[in-house]
Structure 1
Amino acid sequence: MMLESATPLLVETTGYVNVTDLLKKRLENSPQLAAFERPRITADTTTWHEITVAQFEQQVMAVAKGLVANGVGIGGNVVIMAQTQYEWAVAEMAIWYAGGVVVPIYDTSSVAQSAAILQDANARVAFAGNARQADILREASHTIGKELSVYSLENEFVELIDAGDFLPDAEIETRRLVANQADVATIVYTSGTTGEPKGALITHQNLLGQVLNIGATYTDVIWEGGRTIIFLPLAHVLARGLQLVCLANGMKIAHLADPKQVVPALGVLKPTFLVVVPRVLQKIQAAAGLAARKKRIGPIWDRAVNTAITRARHLEEGTTPRFALRASHAIFDRIFFARLRALMGGEIGYLLSGAAALEADLALFYRGIGVPVVEGYGLTETTAPVTGNLPGSEKAGSVGIPTPGSTIRISEQGEVLAKGIGVFSGYKRPEHNAEAFVDGFFRTGDLGTLDDSGRLTLKGRLKDVIVTSGGKTVTPAQWENIVENDPLVAHAIAVGEGKPFLSSLIVVEPEVLANWAAEQGEQEIVDIVRAQSNKIIELDNQRLRDAISRTINRANTQFSRSEQIRKFIIVIADLSVSGGNITATMKLKRQVLLGKVSAIVERLYTEPYTGGTR
């Protein structure tokens, strides 16, 4: 088994001063190309209007002048706290044009979280997406005793543009060129499922290297004239990297702040690819299954899913499916698959999945219906992807080979180590760097293996490894991923550190659960879901336990006795970001949730175990 894999750099960053040159070169090549689609919302309708590269750059220049006029100095940190929107893109590029450093704050952050970032970054100027976010930033700055100028994105930068109108373009052009590739472009504070956020220093070279090499590698996905919708939080480095890649390569970008708006917009905007997190893919599949069950054709849908997965395995292995499978697929395509593709706009060539592990059968399902998923892997500290599958050679369950200019090494402990063009220069506070690197490689904290082709497969988090009282070491991530493929299950958390056997906390998906309960005639569960609010409630309904138990038993068959789950408890929990149980990128705050239900989990080991899965 391979212990190290590397991919050479495809495109050097020479010829670029800093990230702003991506926009300048696009402006030189195609100033009238549509770079963005921006919504205009009225009481009745939402219409979309194109913004050209030249119009975007003109607005960036005007806002940059306003920032300079209001005291933003070279290397000054400027905060953006806003939901995903076109104005985010303007603000970010304007900060760089003014010679500043971008400091994003998730739009769902609390006053305390915002204050910690403002204090650490020593920011004096901020953009807010709306009045609520502006109030949070002002209150946060007040708590740390610092002055903060807050500008709203809602007024389209009018205040800033008026303030800087007197400055000549030449002054901004001088400012734009001050930063070189080694300088910090952005400080990204890790959203963190545990522990205090740490400020990752990402340089202009990190961003340039990723944008140029990802664009050169994924030409089947990213091409001039293509279209995408960004609905991931722009405070996350993955969404910002995507935005820069699209801008540099002439793809048109639309922004949506609310993921619930995405499906209705797909038919209008007709994206050619989307970047999603696995939970979105699970919800689309679950919604299709629910619709089939409501029409009393659930068993037919289940056969269709199996057919799609089987067909995808043939595509992956390069083998020819038998006539019966081809015929079944053609029938199911007319009944289900074509409608799903139409629901996604009808023109998507690829889905790109990141930010969390994607269960292999889910990836195979989408490939089998004609919308292949390209899964990759990366972290804030690697400036988004450090590995990725390549279009046409996807391997379900794997996160692919190192991206150009990257090296992956597996340590003796099985930890994934990363080095390359996208790996950041370190954290803002020196003490955070003490254990972050080894032999020049960044320690990701993830466990993984490399196959003979250099493909990385993730095995879970190093800190989530469980050692039972019998001395068995278990990495539960793969078991959890399989169980989470059940539409009812939002999160499966294996527990058992220092215990004689493994158990699990099953967190159910509230919306899916309510629909399931209504179908089953379980009105009590429907009422519980409706009244749940932000509470964590244990569910002890036998029909629900039986349904979950079947999923757990199927998963258990794929693992050794010591890795199997013997007991479980089902809870319903608030899975909104504001509920505090998940991050802005929909990752579970595992230890936070377990801390809230510690008494419930402990009962799994105080009640007698009589064998079987309970």
Structure 2
Amino acid sequence: MHPLEVARQAQPSLQGGLADSLFETAERDPLLPQLARRSDTSPAHWSQVTAIELRDEVLDVAKGFIAAGIFPGHRVAVMARTRYEWTVLSYALWTVGAEIVPIHPTSSHDQVAWILRDASCVAVVVEDEQGIMTVGSVIASLPGLRHVWQLDSGALRDLTEAGRDVPVTTVESMRRIVLPDSTAVIAYTSGTTGGPKGCALSHSSLASPCDTLLAGWGHTVAPAGQQPAVLAFLPFSHVYGLMVQGLCMRGGFLMGHEPDPRTERLADALLSFRPTYLHAVPLVFEKLFKNFLREAEQSGRGALFERAVRTARDFAAATERQRLGTGAGPGLDLRLQHALYDKTVYRRLRAALGGRVCGAASGGSPLNRELALFYAGIGIPVHDGYGLTETSGGITAQPVGREKLGTVGRPLPDTEIQVAQDGELLVRGPSVFQGYVNDEEANRAAFRNGWLATGDLGRLDEEGYLSITGRKEDIVVTSGGKSVAPAVLEERLRVHPLVHQAVVVGDGRPCVGALITLDPAYLAHWRALHATPGDAQDRRLREENALREEINRAVGAVNSTVSRSESIRVYRVLPEAFDLANGLLTPSMKLRRDAITERYAAEIEAMYHSSSRALRGPAPVDPYSWDDTDNVFG
């Protein structure tokens, strides 16, 4: 419904496999810089790899795969962080018609065993000794696994050497039999609930959203006359990361890799690589904003920064009203204030990202509108979009010049969206997957009369802009019968700089509650700002009281935006974050709700019983009868 109008000429439809674009670019523009490789000895230095150099390296590795008996239709797992070798491996495997099975390197032994067995992988490429140990611990149960290669031990060198005698004509003949409908990737869903399922994605379904975005949005990713440059740091084990790689390779962008997405490493990489465009998830944009705020407060410019933030948001909101035809643009006073802050504040913020970023895209979950207004106001408009593993990434995007912040845009050309009676989004289009491997029951449940049931809830406005309200399976139903979408509350909680993560709970409970984790970097900064004299015990007590009041204000601010029955009445601050290491986050940085509620079942129970009213008797069924928010710290 209401697909985007893309006036620019679309790229020719895919005739073969994804690897063809690499060979075509090398033939057409052999000296075009395709990849930038970071120096091991000098991390601030990046050396460029041209299209012809990359093509030759891919060709050599593809010959090695053939020598190892990897042929069309074979499945090879890649279990590594986002690094240069990942791109070489993926295009080499696609060159010989093999199917890639991405596995996140922090996956557990059980997850690795399940994926390798379910996908019937004949080989796996791991990154380091930890990967070797993980695969080694399960290899006895995988009789079909014939090869294990390790990147840090020279896997690409060994493959190149092994394939030295394989004729180039053999590689070319294998590449030319790959069809657009051939399976390219078996991408396993993150498994926020239940076990992961393998989504079969064809070469054409992976190329389709990339080519559509390049056709309609490619001119926005760099200033005129400059080659677009993108730093890839999202995991290639997730479809969004693979989409970023596809955009760069098919669009002729210069792509660098940053395997460590932690704030400090990412900040250094952005400064040295100097991208023209950012692809990230909301968590990254939130973290960047909190870092800006913390650094401003540490330098004594906190008040100035807050005024600059308000001006940026006001300016972006006025500009949005103007472009959508719903109001006037920024007035003279606002334009003058914005120009002043652009010289004194915004320019510094852009410089912290390398100084060349002219725009960004956000995916994985909806980006908070206030945050989107801030970035637009400082000169880095963020295009929020929507997609699934099952749709090879993109389904919607913001129309250029008609962006409506707070939404995820409108359906891409040739893609359709319907909203079912229960609010679930149904989609169909060229990027929809081929189906789940080895799971016919899941395939039957996924499709309704040719439409893919996404499991996401949302709404389309009168102009066809889509807003995501949450996951169907995540809806919280209180004992009073109130249905609450947790994602919206969680997103608004994370706006507060002290809040790192939030999980809304309350199924079968008398009211909505929340589990909250604090941002460790900002918490340390906050403690330093609020340090007071006195003995250690008194100081700690005052500090904890102040912290409790601050979190209570954050919860109160969220509650002011919803009805009382939807508001967070109890919460608990947890001592540890949800992360990949403790199994509470998926590789795509989504919350594993089932695992979180199971691990913190005792804390949730105690949180509800901590209410003074609950202590005096049975919990009331009517959520309106509960006391004001009970700020419970773990």
TM-score (norm 1): 0.93
> Which sections of structure 2, spanning at least 5 residues, go unmatched?
323-327, 614-625
SS at 1:470 equivalent: coil
Distance 1:72 1:497 in 2: 49
* One-letter amino acid of the structure 1 residue matched with residue 209 of structure 2: Q
Distance 1:483 1:216 in 2: 37
Q: Does 1:611 align with 2:627?
A: yes
SS at 1:41 equivalent: coil
- The aligned residue for residue 290 of structure 1 is 294
Distance 2:131 2:524 in 1: 32
Q: Does 1:509 align with 2:513?
A: no
Q: 1:14 to 1:493 in 2, by over 3 A?
A: closer
Please provide the CA RMSD for this pair: 2.2
Matches within 5 A, 1:163-562: 163-222=162-221, 225-260=227-262, 261-318=265-322, 319-429=328-438, 430-521=440-531, 541-562=544-565
1:339 deviation in Å?
Answer: 0.4
The answer to whether the 8 A contact 1:79-1:127 is kept is yes
1:18 deviation in Å?
Answer: 1.9
Distance 2:12 2:196 in 1: 30
- The aligned residue for residue 623 of structure 2 is none
* Runs of 4+ deviating beyond 6 Å: none
SS at 2:259 equivalent: coil
SS at 1:506 equivalent: strand
1:412 deviation in Å?
Answer: 0.5
SS at 2:39 equivalent: strand
Distance 2:43 2:387 in 1: 38
1:579 deviation in Å?
Answer: 2.2
- The aligned residue for residue 116 of structure 2 is 118
Q: Does 1:568 align with 2:571?
A: yes
Distance 1:590 1:13 in 2: 42
The answer to whether the 8 A contact 2:478-2:506 is kept is yes
Distance 1:550 1:522 in 2: 21
Deviates more, 1:208-217 or 1:222-231: 222-231
Distance 2:221 2:19 in 1: 20
- The aligned residue for residue 617 of structure 2 is none
Instruction: State the percentage of identical aligned residues.
Output: 34
- The aligned residue for residue 95 of structure 1 is 93
1:558 deviation in Å?
Answer: 1.4
Distance 2:37 2:89 in 1: 15
Distance 1:147 1:311 in 2: 58
Q: Does 1:66 align with 2:64?
A: yes
Q: 1:200 to 1:13 in 2, by over 3 A?
A: farther
Q: 1:523 to 1:127 in 2, by over 3 A?
A: farther
SS at 2:445 equivalent: coil
Deviates more, 1:218-227 or 1:344-353: 218-227
1:222 deviation in Å?
Answer: 4.4
- The aligned residue for residue 85 of structure 1 is 83
Distance 2:481 2:14 in 1: 56
What's the CA shift string for 1:229-277, capped at 9, x where partnerless?
0001111111112112211121100001012322112232211101011
1:142 deviation in Å?
Answer: 2.4
1:540 deviation in Å?
Answer: 11
Deviates more, 1:539-548 or 1:468-477: 539-548
Deviates more, 1:23-32 or 1:457-466: 23-32
The answer to whether the 8 A contact 1:399-1:457 is kept is yes
* One-letter amino acid of the structure 2 residue matched with residue 304 of structure 1: A
* One-letter amino acid of the structure 2 residue matched with residue 473 of structure 1: S
The answer to whether the 8 A contact 2:11-2:215 is kept is no
Distance 1:120 1:540 in 2: 52
1:64 deviation in Å?
Answer: 0.7
The answer to whether the 8 A contact 1:138-1:148 is kept is no
Distance 2:501 2:14 in 1: 46
Deviates more, 1:350-359 or 1:574-583: 574-583
Distance 2:14 2:220 in 1: 25
1:165 deviation in Å?
Answer: 0.8
* One-letter amino acid of the structure 2 residue matched with residue 582 of structure 1: L
The answer to whether the 8 A contact 2:121-2:145 is kept is no
1:606 deviation in Å?
Answer: 2.0
The answer to whether the 8 A contact 1:510-1:572 is kept is no
Distance 1:141 1:393 in 2: 53
The answer to whether the 8 A contact 1:582-1:589 is kept is yes
* One-letter amino acid of the structure 1 residue matched with residue 446 of structure 2: A
- The aligned residue for residue 102 of structure 2 is 104
SS at 1:328 equivalent: helix
1:501 deviation in Å?
Answer: 1.8
The answer to whether the 8 A contact 2:230-2:275 is kept is yes
Matches within 5 A, 1:580-595: 580-595=583-598
1:330 deviation in Å?
Answer: 2.6
1:585 deviation in Å?
Answer: 1.8
Distance 1:540 1:298 in 2: 20
- The aligned residue for residue 531 of structure 1 is none
> Which sections of structure 1, spanning at least 5 residues, go unmatched?
528-538
Q: 1:597 to 1:166 in 2, by over 3 A?
A: same
Distance 1:86 1:38 in 2: 7
1:580 deviation in Å?
Answer: 1.3
Distance 2:14 2:285 in 1: 39
Distance 1:262 1:542 in 2: 34
1:493 deviation in Å?
Answer: 2.0
Distance 1:391 1:142 in 2: 53
The answer to whether the 8 A contact 1:222-1:246 is kept is no
* One-letter amino acid of the structure 2 residue matched with residue 372 of structure 1: P
- The aligned residue for residue 29 of structure 1 is 28
1:8 deviation in Å?
Answer: 7.3
Distance 2:108 2:481 in 1: 41
Deviates more, 1:14-23 or 1:448-457: 14-23
- The aligned residue for residue 533 of structure 1 is none
Distance 1:114 1:370 in 2: 42
Distance 1:361 1:49 in 2: 38
1:294 deviation in Å?
Answer: 1.9
Distance 2:218 2:68 in 1: 41
1:499 deviation in Å?
Answer: 2.1
1:146 deviation in Å?
Answer: 4.5
What's the CA shift string for 1:386-440, capped at 9, x where partnerless?
1111333221110001112211110000011111111101100222212111121
Distance 1:159 1:239 in 2: 27
The answer to whether the 8 A contact 1:13-1:208 is kept is no
Distance 1:604 1:138 in 2: 42
The answer to whether the 8 A contact 1:138-1:150 is kept is no
The answer to whether the 8 A contact 2:531-2:543 is kept is no
SS at 1:274 equivalent: strand
What's the CA shift string for 1:28-82, capped at 9, x where partnerless?
221110000011211x654211101111111111111111111112210011111
Deviates more, 1:357-366 or 1:22-31: 22-31
The answer to whether the 8 A contact 2:44-2:269 is kept is no
TM-score (norm 2): 0.90
